[in-house]
Chain A
């Protein structure tokens, strides 16, 4: 009998919950796992400095974040979503449909993707085309002609004679990761485009072009190592002949164990990513639901903190964490966007 009373009490309290969930005083942030390390630092500083509650940040991936963000305008949806790519027009439309009409887009900086190996092995110097040939599922027939064959390359020097005679073994993130998307788009497609007849296909059959350029081989040369970049670094250390794909911040934190390859003459360094000469880099964003600014205390202050020179400026604390900053003019433009809550139009 006692248990029955208890159970009833619980179910009653559950019902009363709905009312309480409506008002909240913490900023809710979701989105990209690449932006997560930066957003969390800002959130922590903001919480300590301002006296507001520390924002809650979930790492859901860019796509997952957009889905939650665009689900509706109510206070039970996130206020901000981080993204390691720009919002897609389909996502924008979904937002509009669900009443999320007033969004501000803020770019926070860049992220480079490193193609790295252990320091015990020689540093690789290669091009994006080499990466494409080594990792794509289907590659142009080396004998010539406009024909695709299953990837025949087993060692790096088969791809490019100047590379060492190592078996092709690349540890990288799984398809659910934004890093993988960016790698496919920037490195593989970048190399794929160098083949003229595949490039010509882009206009005729975009779908086929994409599938040729983005599909990674599945014969064991590319090893999905999970979302954990630390694990990839550790594995590279124990296997000097393997290569790894991960974000620049992990390269920077572990540069006594691993080295980034030189891609088309540019090493993955702070300066080369910032000026855009390192070819595998991407912009990072967050999107703000302006309608929540009134209801959530401190939201505007958080945005101001994020876009302050002390945070994302040339010598800000986010830079210490591996973020590549925007140019000075761009940073000023972002601050203006925050100040005026500029609406994103697509």
Chain B
């Protein structure tokens, strides 16, 4: 057997090997794709109920007498404080179901509507006091979360008593129950009642936290990268710094949280749970990402451009700021956006500095107590009420939407402004 024959014989085997290898690759891609698709589908399906809310129509009497106020009282939060809006709503519920007489059944009846409905009525009267002149209004109030789950899934749960199911059936027959787009989810902050809970507080909290992170990590990151890449002498010290920046990028994020607790809160006395501390901690985490990507971007600017600038008499600093940095900017920004996206999805370091908390008020600045989107997801996932499962999934979708948007911007910047030499 000569060489050619040997090669010919092994040829089939080699082709087969290559085919097999390609198949392994395809299978790997497919497995990854199936995982991702299952995850997304599961979350989306679970989240769908959260984007709808159930409402019940009531005829609410709101004349001066029922409210217990003197006619023509000035309507402001102070004068409405004493008004028993819950009682007013209970009265209108009894009007819908006149045959409910027993105390126990009445209690079940009152549980059809959300405990937040009375504040809904109060806020309505606060914003439109002239409604009182009408004497009676027709109002769609938010239903209780158990009713909501029952009505949406059309499935009996043990949380709904048979008596209540009858009542809901009656409401359905009269067309007094409906589902609407759940705007509460985007307008409200955290609540222990699923039907009143929303993500606004967490979104604003994420915004403040990321703002602090951006303001701190971008200038410091770019500054460090420019110095290390363009000005720093190449010696042992800069080598050590370089190695350590790479190491820092691999440090588990919880460590930064511990650092934040020890240094910023305990030593500097900054407030717990504030976006300021959260932002500083997250910027420590994103700094290495930004420095590394910025250095890579600066390095990829061709030396010929620098040399041309220097040759025309520009100083080193002028060369860097007038030519190198503008050309490297798309790469730097891409790195920064990816770093920010990482920071947006982070919870572990925030656990240590008190941002995992029940906070209802929307934070007005970087010093107010706040929580962030992933933390909100974590808190809801841990709540006993069934309806929070849907809210958790919906919040995950919102977070994913932001992450995808940020990454898309990064890709756009890279495609649009990247120059190839």
Contacts and interface: CB of A to CB of B under 8 A. Distances in A.
Contacts of B313: none
Given A43-B360, A76-B271, A255 B158 contact: yes
A268 interface: no
Given A54-B359, A58-B357, A230-B384, A6 B215 contact: yes
A54 B360 contact: yes
B184 to A, nearest CB: 14
Interface in A239-292: 247, 249-250, 252-256
A120 to B, nearest CB: 15
A313 interface: no
Contacts of B158: 255-256
Contacts of A54: 359-361
Interface stretch (A44-52, A183-191, A297-305): A44-52
Interface string B328-371: 00000000000000000000000000101111110000010100
A273 to B, nearest CB: 16
A114 B359 CA distance: 29
A21 B382 CA distance: 30
Contacts of A88: none
Interface in A206-265: 227-230, 247, 249-250, 252-256
A225 to B, nearest CB: 12
Given A40-B192, A54-B360, A58-B357, A254 B271 contact: no
A160 interface: no
Contacts of B271: 17, 21, 24, 76
Interface string A56-68: 1111000000000
Contact of B386 (A6, A17, A40, A253): A253
A28 interface: yes
B219 A18 contact: no
Given A20-B367, A253-B159, A10 B270 contact: no
B10 interface: no
Interface in B263-293: 268-273, 276
B358 A253 contact: no
Nearest to B264: A14
B81 interface: yes
B96 interface: no
B382 A17 contact: no
A253 B384 CA distance: 6
A47 B159 CA distance: 27
B385 A51 contact: no
B222 A59 contact: no
Interface string A19-50: 01100101010000100110111011001100
Contact of A256 (B157, B268, B273, B369): B157
A53 interface: yes
A14 B277 CA distance: 10
Given A48-B119, A59-B356, A26 B382 contact: no
Contacts of B107: 315
A125 B115 CA distance: 38
B389 interface: yes
A28 B360 contact: no
Contacts of A256: 157-159
Nearest to B119: A48
A322 B220 contact: no
A17 B365 CA distance: 13
A51 B77 contact: yes
Nearest to B359: A56
Nearest to A15: B268
B170 interface: no
Contacts of B358: 36, 39-40, 43, 56-59
Contacts of A51: 77, 81
A14 B215 CA distance: 13
A18 B268 contact: yes
A51 B119 CA distance: 12
Nearest to A40: B358
A21 B270 CA distance: 7
Interface in B365-395: 367, 369, 379, 381-386, 389
A146 interface: no
B357 A17 contact: no
B219 A322 contact: no
B191 interface: yes
B356 A17 contact: no
Contacts of B115: 317
B216 interface: yes
A295 interface: no
A249 B384 contact: yes
Nearest to A226: B382
Interface string B86-115: 000000000000000000000100000001
A344 interface: no
B276 A3 contact: no
B369 A56 contact: yes
B223 interface: yes
B222 A3 contact: yes
A57 B385 CA distance: 18
Given A21-B271, A41-B192, A57-B357, A6 B219 contact: yes
A315 B216 CA distance: 52
Nearest to A53: B361
Contacts of B369: 26, 56
A48 B361 CA distance: 10
A239 B282 CA distance: 39
A201 interface: no
A136 B276 CA distance: 46
Contacts of A4: 223
Contacts of B116: 48
Contact of A76 (B216, B269, B356): B269
A148 interface: no
Nearest to B271: A21
Nearest to B116: A48
A224 to B, nearest CB: 16
A59 B357 contact: yes
Contacts of A333: none
Nearest to B212: A10
B382 A250 contact: no
A195 interface: no
B361 A47 contact: yes
A33 to B, nearest CB: 8
A317 B361 CA distance: 22
8 tightest A-B CB contacts, nearest first: A3-B219, A54-B360, A256-B158, A57-B358, A58-B357, A40-B358, A21-B271, A253-B384
25 contacts: A4-B223, A6-B215, A7-B220, A14-B268, A18-B269, A18-B270, A20-B367, A21-B270, A33-B382, A40-B192, A44-B191, A44-B192, A44-B360, A51-B81, A54-B360, A56-B358, A59-B358, A59-B379, A76-B271, A229-B384, A230-B382, A247-B384, A250-B384, A253-B384, A253-B386
Given A21-B270, A256-B159, 4 more contacts: A18-B270, A37-B384, A48-B116, A53-B361
